[in-house]
Structure 1
Amino acid sequence: MDMIVRPTAELKGEIGALSSKNYTTRYLLVAALAEGTSTIYYPAHSEDSDAMRRCIRDLGAVLEEDDEKIVITGFGNHPRDVKELDVGNAGAVLRFLMAIAALSPKVTFVNTYPESLGKRPHSDLIEALESMGVQIEHQDGRLPITISGGKPKGGKIKVSGEVSSQYLSALLFLTPLLEEDSEIEVLGDLKSKVVIGQTLEVLEQAGITIEAASDYMSFRVPGRQAYQAKNYTVQGDYPGSAAILAAAAVTKSDVKVHRLMERSKQGERAIVDVLQMMDVPLSHEGGTVHVLGNGRLRPVEFDGDAATDAVLAMVAAAVFADGTSRFYNVENLRYKECDRITDYLNELKKAGAQVEERQSEIIVHGRPSGLEGGATINAHFDHRVIMALTVVGLRCREPLLIKDAHHVAKSYPQYFDHLSALGASVEWVK
């Protein structure tokens, strides 16, 4: 379905932040890898987290869920022998489970999104797993991928961090279960280090011991460990909330978003800092971000590597700043559901934005008077692009039509409901 976004002068109201997708998928996985029963309170519901639910159930976990919690009886280090797994369009779920599938005799990950996840590379993780004795059939590093494992070996393991930190996270989930101790060395520049901090946080909560270098470039992982069954509570999600906060920043607003921890390890928490740098009137106290937007913003320069999933929302706000903004060290945006630099900026230009790209930079020449709009936008089936383009549409003089906007459900199914509740003029069309 498509979405029409019409000019909206004012947003007002309060919402609770969505539960974190990143933490939910990690808690689901460690609960499945435990022998015993774990409880996860306030888990996220999105296409990504639901893909993890579906796959760990296929692998032998037992799940019981109500409105508040999900109770999981895990399969430990003995996943059920299954022939196929369908992760949908969830890249992190695929990569984490490629590692866990190495404990199974033979599993094929099918390609159900050839135009999105099917185009994304996984070669760095494949090479690392092959060095551990795992046999892998693949299409030049892409789906469909068949893992023939059973007995992966620990020891000295090298993995590139140049494209994604998810490869490293995958190995950190697997190696504690191996017979041998492991030493993991990261090659190149590790992207999104802050997300590795989230992985290590969840692993520690699950009773796993890992020695990490301060720069996260090397790890010592004792083998023969067991995940412990625990209770977990999922915190609010900054990546999804970033678009809501950006929308409040570019309009006249009085908006409160609850359940956003001040000391969260989510790198996208930086959306609050960036909006403050842009002189957006806001406060952050007691887990609530309160934005009193006036639509006036200053330009910024920002290193986006630690806040990858909030950068597009930051750029959307910068489109209306009084001056030129620069977001750098963001090349890993090119390797997401789409090329979030080239593809996103091309769509912004259709709406009238003045933007430039470099290999690892986004440059935005702000237009504080707003954009012309009146365009049909291809969001490339990318949830983050859909959310960010919606923010831009609120300050266009003519409506934007965003094609296939239902793909926002990958991470934030309630996004348009929440925006509408705050007063945004958004309408589904077939």
Structure 2
Amino acid sequence: MMHCMHAPFDLRVFPAARLSGDVTAQPSKNYTTRFLLAAALCEGDTLVRRPATSDDAAALKDGLTTLGATLTPHQDGLLVRGFGAHPKSGTTVDPRNAGAVARFLIGVAALTTETTFVTSHTESLGKRPQGDLFDALRSLGVVVESERGTLPVTLRGPSSGGAVHVSAEKSSQYASALMFLAPLLKGGLTLHLTGDIKSFAPLRQTLHTLSVFGVAFEASDDLRTVTIPGPQAYRGGDVTVPGDYPGSSALLVAGTLVPGEIRVHGLDPNDLQGERASIDVLKAMGADVVHEGTTVTVRGGRPLKAVTRDGDTFTDAVQALSAAAAFASGTTTWENVLTLRFKECDRISDTRRELEKFGLHVTETRDSLSITGASEVPGGFTVNGHGDHRMIMMLTLIGLRASKPIVITGAQHIAKSYPDFFDHLGELGATFETLVPA
């Protein structure tokens, strides 16, 4: 079931009687982005082993190449010859539909005399807010020309560094972008994170990446203040991308909902990805899940019960876990998930609308989502993937337990983060049919 990454297709998902077998977790989307970027910010060569091959990774590779890095397939990864503190000026970068890629490279562009960013995805990334990052860069002396605080944008640097305030309310990615930029600035950066900080886990992943690449920094425990002196050099060498918890959480939910036993390998129990918490959430819901070494084993088919959790710690697993909530007795609430409204779709309202098609009772507030589960849900109809990889995962998982097959529109968008998702489920015993839309 391999698909050309961009050929549109709808997917018919058949109910599964049993799922069993072994899968190796795909490489982490978040760490692939961070390690490849840091490798490009090195002078000289770095081998990045096991990078993801998703649409987002491809967008990043193209952007880094445009800015002057060379990426060559080597052994089990990519050999990256970096541009260090001197990315090419005068280029135009299209990060396609990848929010983190756009923001991180906009940060790097502060080292250039002029860089323009455009997006071919005007209805998705083109609408996502970037103003908080633009404001921070302006305060550092970068000229930022953007009509609405979104892409397209032209930036003119370079900046020499200093102190900067950046909002971490809508996204952690603005602060991460500045953290990657900071060591290469003459004066470094002292970052003051303002607002209600969202998504601590990705910020810690960024700082962890800096330490892997030999960058010194100081950070307060609450991450309100991060000091990164400059100029420093990124030092690469040989790094391996860890397994992906957000994508794997969807496999674990599939293994929870359907009888059988599945094992997902390559998941570090000490990983900094916040979505690692999905294992504890599933246990709290009554699932039979065991994490031993780097293998997670799930025995499926047990009854589930509702939970209430702060979803901000595992943002990218909320939708997969919502599929578990759909079959749990009681009402599950994900609190503090406002950032879900600013993703590929509105993952609060759009998720509610899709779940209601299955007859489920779902309510929302500005920053929460509540799902009352049912022991079984109907099928036999079409649901909307909303061009969102996480939404497509959630709907697929529900389809595995529905009473009749369902059709998910625009299923090709799974490739944004997890191109092998349907293949991996197929290896475990799930059945799908690819439909070419009329």
Q: With structure 2 as the length reference, what TM-score do the two structures score?
A: 0.96
Structure 1 regions of 5+ residues with no counterpart? none
- For residue 322 of structure 1, what is the aligned residue in structure 2? 329
**2:66 aligned partner, one-letter code:** D
Please state if 1:97 is matched with 2:105: yes
Matches of 2:358 and 2:90 in 1, distance apart? 47
How far residue 83 of structure 1 moved from its aligned partner, in angstroms, is 2.4
Please state if 1:170 is matched with 2:170: no
How far residue 385 of structure 1 moved from its aligned partner, in angstroms, is 0.6
* 1:302-321 correspondence to structure 2 within 5 Å: 302-321=309-328
Picking from 368, 376, 389, the partner of 2:382 is 376
- For residue 253 of structure 1, what is the aligned residue in structure 2? 260
Deviates more, 1:215-224 or 1:405-414: 215-224
Matches of 2:58 and 2:16 in 1, distance apart? 33
**1:277 aligned partner, one-letter code:** A
Picking from 218, 223, 230, the partner of 2:230 is 223
How far residue 398 of structure 1 moved from its aligned partner, in angstroms, is 2.0
Matches of 2:189 and 2:123 in 1, distance apart? 36
CA RMSD after TM alignment:
1.1
DSSP-derived class of the 2:19 partner:
strand
Matches of 1:60 and 1:83 in 2, distance apart? 10
- For residue 425 of structure 1, what is the aligned residue in structure 2? 431
Matches of 1:220 and 1:258 in 2, distance apart? 36
Matches of 2:12 and 2:142 in 1, distance apart? 48
**1:133 aligned partner, one-letter code:** G
Check conservation: 1:351, 1:374, Cα contact below 8 A: no
Check conservation: 2:144, 2:155, Cα contact below 8 A: yes
Matches of 1:378 and 1:163 in 2, distance apart? 25
Please state if 1:85 is matched with 2:93: yes
Structure 2 regions of 5+ residues with no counterpart? 1-8
- For residue 183 of structure 1, what is the aligned residue in structure 2? 190
How far residue 295 of structure 1 moved from its aligned partner, in angstroms, is 4.2
Residues 1:258 and 1:75: Cα distance change in structure 2 (over 3 Å): same
* 1:209-358 correspondence to structure 2 within 5 Å: 209-358=216-365
**2:130 aligned partner, one-letter code:** H
Check conservation: 2:286, 2:302, Cα contact below 8 A: no
- For residue 50 of structure 2, what is the aligned residue in structure 1? 42
Check conservation: 1:351, 1:400, Cα contact below 8 A: no
| Percent identical | 47
DSSP-derived class of the 1:113 partner:
coil
Matches of 1:139 and 1:181 in 2, distance apart? 29
**2:22 aligned partner, one-letter code:** E
Check conservation: 2:66, 2:91, Cα contact below 8 A: no
DSSP-derived class of the 1:343 partner:
helix
Please state if 1:71 is matched with 2:57: no
Q: With structure 1 as the length reference, what TM-score do the two structures score?
A: 0.98
* 1:43-62 correspondence to structure 2 within 5 Å: 43-62=51-70
- For residue 124 of structure 1, what is the aligned residue in structure 2? 132
1:346-379 CA-to-partner distances (Å, cap 9, x unmatched) read 11111222211111111010102x1112221111
Check conservation: 1:59, 1:82, Cα contact below 8 A: no
Residues 1:16 and 1:336: Cα distance change in structure 2 (over 3 Å): same
DSSP-derived class of the 2:186 partner:
coil
Check conservation: 1:238, 1:260, Cα contact below 8 A: yes
Picking from 108, 129, 145, the partner of 1:137 is 145
Matches of 1:329 and 1:272 in 2, distance apart? 19
DSSP-derived class of the 2:72 partner:
strand
DSSP-derived class of the 2:138 partner:
helix
Picking from 407, 415, 418, the partner of 2:413 is 407
Please state if 1:398 is matched with 2:398: no
Check conservation: 1:52, 1:87, Cα contact below 8 A: yes
Please state if 1:360 is matched with 2:367: yes
Matches of 1:64 and 1:25 in 2, distance apart? 16
How far residue 230 of structure 1 moved from its aligned partner, in angstroms, is 2.1
Check conservation: 2:105, 2:177, Cα contact below 8 A: yes
**1:129 aligned partner, one-letter code:** L
Matches of 2:28 and 2:196 in 1, distance apart? 26
DSSP-derived class of the 1:171 partner:
helix
**2:196 aligned partner, one-letter code:** D
How far residue 407 of structure 1 moved from its aligned partner, in angstroms, is 0.4
Matches of 2:414 and 2:280 in 1, distance apart? 25
Matches of 2:220 and 2:431 in 1, distance apart? 49
DSSP-derived class of the 1:397 partner:
coil
How far residue 67 of structure 1 moved from its aligned partner, in angstroms, is 5.7
Matches of 1:424 and 1:297 in 2, distance apart? 21
Matches of 2:90 and 2:22 in 1, distance apart? 45
Matches of 2:188 and 2:268 in 1, distance apart? 35
DSSP-derived class of the 2:83 partner:
coil
**1:396 aligned partner, one-letter code:** A
- For residue 392 of structure 2, what is the aligned residue in structure 1? 386
